[in-house]
Structure 1
């Protein structure tokens, strides 16, 4: 049954709306007072957003909206014009609902009629992707995005169009495109992937508007309507029980928009499905998980991620508007306050109104363990946080591979502090929609550098990438999270993986340890166990300006040579090298007004290298970034590191305070099958970690540490021994 306003609902289910304010009903194009109500709604952010759209549409109405024959790939003129046209159809429809100004209806109608004349004449795009070609666009993904926007705009004006115009638009572009995206693209439509999500949403939303039950059922259940594919299967497989998306936060925010928009249409048209409570409310969890996977407004750049993407993306704006409508959670207003606009819907109006009324409460950025895999058994993304939203944060990645967009970085880590990246991930090698850079597509260096293990902060064995650089092999194996807990005031997490390299077991423990002055130590223990000798490299991709090293380096002053020949090493210049280090060493750098020091040691002699990205990069596709690489040859090894922030650098007052590291010593011992790692600070405090070789959760341990008997159950234990 198709209802009025069939794609959007502002009536939340009672089960979800425990905190929601009273919201306006479904908008209708025939309400002459609707825009005046908006103007008096005390929602300035909404008014600003609508006024900006009005200005843009006025300009397009004056100049005309071209509908060119498709020629260009991503980033080219025709590609960008068709993208903009879909948004123009959508925005004109939304403003018609809000204002009843017929000019907006006429604008959307005119563009759609132009497409109804063009689309039937198109074959596959001249720059098409081999596997997923489109007609308007080089890949069918963009075609699905176009239809998601356009069908919403069309629905807003459809009731006020004459029968002939409806037939012209629907037979010329809407129906043929829905057919093309479904029956014409079965390999994409039935794919469990974000491309499949967009296609299902486009076809399903079109089905609701045009009252085509077959399209709706195919979108929900797959082309054969068996349930082996389609929207519901994607909800089952692409999200974990905690709302973590298999490909990581960059693609999670991208896929979130079709998920929530189609779910909203399902809720309106088939409320008995109770779609927002499907799988224990996994879509709502996904929206919150997307926000949690950010720091200082930017998403964690893991896997194929454009590093600049963050909470201000349009996809999240739609998601937050819909989720707020369903839940009334005032902490979401805190996230909206970080955005520069809201969507031009009544849900967006409610967000902006409540934001202006001062109903905001802080969003709870918190330590989280987001399980991976549809059943939550494929590892997890662990986030440790201290303090407020700009406080210290550690991201630990014992996740699944992440499908084809995944990187070979299991057990990798990121470190944030004071609103900045301190130890960073490269993200993707791509200039999105910049046509001169490979047509805006992923660059060759995404494969040769960005995905490789050396490009991440995780252990590399024998200068090879995990799983031999084969993502399909990697997809078959997941790390095992062996700890995520707070022990004696120390937040810690640990995981292990024994399938990334044949004959080598990898383990890592990361911890946030509170300092007496209110700061945090970041403690990092990386272990490899093998019966044969290997070369182990531990890269640290640090941000900022190198200040000093506590060890001597021989610098390349006349000629640079690549650090290796393959697996990403060929893109690193070797800039400096140390002699083998056998005692505590350190390296310090400056980020804006804060100093950071990494203190480190290893169980075997270790050589330190300073590297810079940019070798074998004739097209200047790579950023010039630096790294410290610690290298050792052994059968088994333990790397023990401590990060800390200290001092300050005041440009205005020309004051520098550089006390250096507060770590006096770090060392390792063992007892009864347990390795003990101890950090001694200059105040005499000892920070102690016990990490068992046998990581069984049920195993009890009793060991002696400096004459003190310590007893616990499980693989890890930690405590602080104060000097006072």
Structure 2
């Protein structure tokens, strides 16, 4: 994983976030040996009440099965050798899960065998760890000892310290000292003091590191260790856990690296916060920054479709809410808020945690206290102050198969960010339709570069042409330079989720020198079937340029409305760099306003992309996978509109879901578009787009340049005057504003 080092001098002071939690006095640690990461009374309730509640009983059975299998296999603590996916890597992962599970099983059942097993495993680590140097498969300055990168070492500690805390009071003084001094103290020193270049940054790697060191500090009763975790190695507060909360989340709970890494980073944030709450409730950590950590858990849920995270930035498509990070996060957030909507997510996950918070989830589900999670059309601002763009989410309804449009107008997202400002994706009928590639990576598959990010992640997945947004002169935004990209963000101009048309308008300046582009995405209820989606993208450049606008889609092409020149004998490659070297050209065509459409089928529904191509535009039908000798890339289709422009260009398109195909009944209906025409005109201070539907019905969308709410606008459409106030209005064929 890439590390982006953000030195403290470059960080905002965060004065707006200074609360009691940040200004708390000396760190307080609990005396004695009893567990401190969860309360003793709550632990006792797991043993007495857990079996009464089906979800907790199922989790107890699941963890017992896994740990019993590990115990039967015997103690295996190998000398580290392999990268991700290799035998030693996977065994150390299994071991930290076994330590954690055995500790929690001991507290949930009282069976001493589990405590003894965790002790034996940890004593083996106490013998091994002091002998280790840096991992032999390390490839960067963030090398681990147990694993190829220190991030995984921190994850090992976060899990293992919880298991150790659960059994520490059962150990002899000698065994406790051996584990304290042979495992956790030296690991905490390595993670913090020996790697400040990782620990003292604002990044998810540092979040895991701070959680590991801070939780270890509470368990070992070491206030200095806790203070380092909270405020950085120099304990100044310029970095550390509290500063990470300040800098990595927006006021809406959106995480800087995007939804996928929000999932990953949430676990150390909420697990460590829970430990802080148990040990120092006076910090009021779950109220810090207006409760941003529990907001972040709910935001993570909102940024999904059918439970799967929107795959923006470095994201794996397979990740959903059914992950250990979200089981933990939902349980802890429920424990902190008692929000009954979180119970419905736990029921969908069909899992909870072997913790007191997990018990509370199971108990309240059994009591019928859940409420539906309020999935909504909403704007998630980006940046610590919420002024670095946003993700706009537009939902046609609350159901799993309702249409969802997500528009990515966010900041870069550090080293895991992609060069895709003003990108958008679409889901419908339970499937991705307008797609984002996500990351080029096979996590923990050793044959694929040890499970690391592949080189194609840089050459394809991050490049602008791999996304549904503007490309200028076949070059990526910011010239593909993350340090430059981190200094600029889009401007979210307008968002509305009201009425029969939802809209997001944003603008990006500086992604290419002298180029500014503005994009409005509108989800339009057309009365029958799923909503239409209008895309209006306007470019202003200070010199002639070639503009490409890709649309990556999932499905099988059914029909093109315009003639195509197909490459049947040979398959040329579209370009040489910035992702273009990975695109095969299957066909090209030159449509006009009357025939510029492409229809494909996905599942049991048809989709037509209808365009108003700029004058002289060419359409390219291409597929990813060129120049890929190791078969690292998926083969996926893309339509690209290309125009050579003197500098100013407007792209207009409408995505229309329609019809139904039933392969069982062998029936097809509505396979052709119901849009008869698409028109666009520029009037003073506004753009007017008219969609003409079958039968002559029209939907006219008026989008003003200004977002000022009270500013009046007027225009003539088909000889009829229209007038509105503010940025946006919709008019039907009878001329009535909605």
TM-score exceeds 0.5: yes
| Cα distance in 2, alignment partners of residues 108 and 531 from structure 1 | 66
2:700 equivalent in structure 1: 688
2:455 equivalent in structure 1: 444
| Cα distance in 2, alignment partners of residues 468 and 9 from structure 1 | 52
TM value normalised by structure 2: 0.93
What aligned pairs does 1:531-542 form with structure 2 within 5 A after superposition?
531-542=542-553
- Deviation of the 1:531 alpha carbon: 3.6
Which residue of the other structure, out of 324, 338, 347, is the alignment partner of 1:328? 338
The verdict on how the C-alpha distance between 1:9 and 1:303 changes in structure 2, with shifts beyond 3 A counting, is farther
- Deviation of the 1:60 alpha carbon: 1.7
2:423 equivalent in structure 1: 412
Which residue of the other structure, out of 659, 665, 670, is the alignment partner of 1:658? 670
**8 A contact 2:379–2:495 mirrored in 1:** yes
Cα shift readout 1:313-364 (whole Å, capped 9, x = no counterpart): 1101101001111222221122112224221112112212322333332111
2:25 equivalent in structure 1: none
- Deviation of the 1:374 alpha carbon: 0.4
| Cα distance in 2, alignment partners of residues 701 and 579 from structure 1 | 35
Matching of residue 457 in structure 1 with residue 468 in structure 2: yes
Which residue of the other structure, out of 39, 43, 64, is the alignment partner of 1:27? 43
**8 A contact 1:582–1:604 mirrored in 2:** no
Which residue of the other structure, out of 617, 621, 628, is the alignment partner of 1:606? 617
**8 A contact 1:482–1:697 mirrored in 2:** no
**8 A contact 2:596–2:613 mirrored in 1:** no
Decide which moves more: 482-491 or 270-279. 482-491
1:638 equivalent in structure 2: 650
**8 A contact 1:431–1:437 mirrored in 2:** yes
1:211 equivalent in structure 2: 221
| Cα distance in 1, alignment partners of residues 662 and 140 from structure 2 | 55
What aligned pairs does 1:558-597 form with structure 2 within 5 A after superposition?
558-597=569-608
| Cα distance in 2, alignment partners of residues 527 and 279 from structure 1 | 37
1:625 equivalent in structure 2: 636
SS of alignment partner, residue 171 of structure 1: helix
SS of alignment partner, residue 158 of structure 1: helix
**8 A contact 1:684–1:722 mirrored in 2:** no
| Cα distance in 2, alignment partners of residues 318 and 171 from structure 1 | 28
2:24 equivalent in structure 1: none
| Cα distance in 1, alignment partners of residues 111 and 486 from structure 2 | 53
1:64 equivalent in structure 2: 74
| Cα distance in 1, alignment partners of residues 499 and 133 from structure 2 | 66
Decide which moves more: 310-319 or 697-706. 697-706
**8 A contact 2:314–2:416 mirrored in 1:** yes
**8 A contact 1:181–1:203 mirrored in 2:** yes
**8 A contact 2:613–2:641 mirrored in 1:** no
TM value normalised by structure 1: 0.95
- Deviation of the 1:487 alpha carbon: 5.8
| Cα distance in 2, alignment partners of residues 628 and 356 from structure 1 | 50
- Deviation of the 1:274 alpha carbon: 0.3
**8 A contact 1:467–1:500 mirrored in 2:** yes
Matching of residue 524 in structure 1 with residue 554 in structure 2: no
1:110 equivalent in structure 2: 120
Cα shift readout 1:535-554 (whole Å, capped 9, x = no counterpart): 11111111011111111111
**8 A contact 1:584–1:601 mirrored in 2:** no
**8 A contact 2:529–2:658 mirrored in 1:** no
- Deviation of the 1:582 alpha carbon: 4.3
**8 A contact 1:260–1:322 mirrored in 2:** yes
**8 A contact 1:201–1:262 mirrored in 2:** yes
Cα shift readout 1:134-192 (whole Å, capped 9, x = no counterpart): 11111110010000011110110011111111011111111110111111111111110
1:188 equivalent in structure 2: 198
1:426 equivalent in structure 2: 437
What aligned pairs does 1:256-405 form with structure 2 within 5 A after superposition?
256-389=266-399, 390-405=401-416
- Deviation of the 1:45 alpha carbon: 2.2
- Deviation of the 1:518 alpha carbon: 4.7
| Cα distance in 2, alignment partners of residues 722 and 150 from structure 1 | 67
| Cα distance in 1, alignment partners of residues 112 and 410 from structure 2 | 52
Cα shift readout 1:451-495 (whole Å, capped 9, x = no counterpart): 000000111111110111111111111111111014652111110
1:157 equivalent in structure 2: 167
SS of alignment partner, residue 37 of structure 2: coil
The verdict on how the C-alpha distance between 1:61 and 1:488 changes in structure 2, with shifts beyond 3 A counting, is closer
SS of alignment partner, residue 43 of structure 2: coil
| Cα distance in 1, alignment partners of residues 81 and 588 from structure 2 | 50
- Deviation of the 1:606 alpha carbon: 1.9
1:2 equivalent in structure 2: 29
- Deviation of the 1:577 alpha carbon: 0.7
| Cα distance in 2, alignment partners of residues 245 and 578 from structure 1 | 41
**Residue segments in structure 1 that go unaligned for 5+ positions in a row:** 11-24
**8 A contact 1:460–1:538 mirrored in 2:** yes
- Deviation of the 1:693 alpha carbon: 4.4
| Cα distance in 2, alignment partners of residues 58 and 690 from structure 1 | 65
Cα shift readout 1:590-618 (whole Å, capped 9, x = no counterpart): 11111111111123232111111111000
| Cα distance in 1, alignment partners of residues 297 and 76 from structure 2 | 36
2:10 equivalent in structure 1: none
- Deviation of the 1:36 alpha carbon: 5.2
Which residue of the other structure, out of 131, 145, 149, is the alignment partner of 2:141? 131
SS of alignment partner, residue 562 of structure 1: coil
| Cα distance in 1, alignment partners of residues 712 and 538 from structure 2 | 21
- Deviation of the 1:2 alpha carbon: 3.2
| Cα distance in 2, alignment partners of residues 587 and 706 from structure 1 | 27
| Cα distance in 2, alignment partners of residues 312 and 683 from structure 1 | 46
SS of alignment partner, residue 338 of structure 1: helix
Matching of residue 246 in structure 1 with residue 276 in structure 2: no
- Deviation of the 1:674 alpha carbon: 2.2
- Deviation of the 1:719 alpha carbon: 3.0
1:502 equivalent in structure 2: 513
- Deviation of the 1:35 alpha carbon: 3.5
- Deviation of the 1:715 alpha carbon: 4.0
Decide which moves more: 710-719 or 198-207. 710-719
Matching of residue 168 in structure 1 with residue 198 in structure 2: no
The verdict on how the C-alpha distance between 1:217 and 1:36 changes in structure 2, with shifts beyond 3 A counting, is closer
Cα shift readout 1:511-547 (whole Å, capped 9, x = no counterpart): 1111222531111111111242211111111101111
RMSD: 1.7
1:514 equivalent in structure 2: 525
1:478 equivalent in structure 2: 489
**8 A contact 2:55–2:362 mirrored in 1:** yes
**8 A contact 1:685–1:723 mirrored in 2:** no
Cα shift readout 1:280-320 (whole Å, capped 9, x = no counterpart): 00001100000011001100000000110011011011010
| Cα distance in 2, alignment partners of residues 339 and 143 from structure 1 | 28
**8 A contact 1:287–1:319 mirrored in 2:** yes
Decide which moves more: 582-591 or 217-226. 582-591
SS of alignment partner, residue 276 of structure 2: helix
- Deviation of the 1:220 alpha carbon: 0.5
| Cα distance in 1, alignment partners of residues 619 and 567 from structure 2 | 14
| Cα distance in 2, alignment partners of residues 478 and 328 from structure 1 | 36
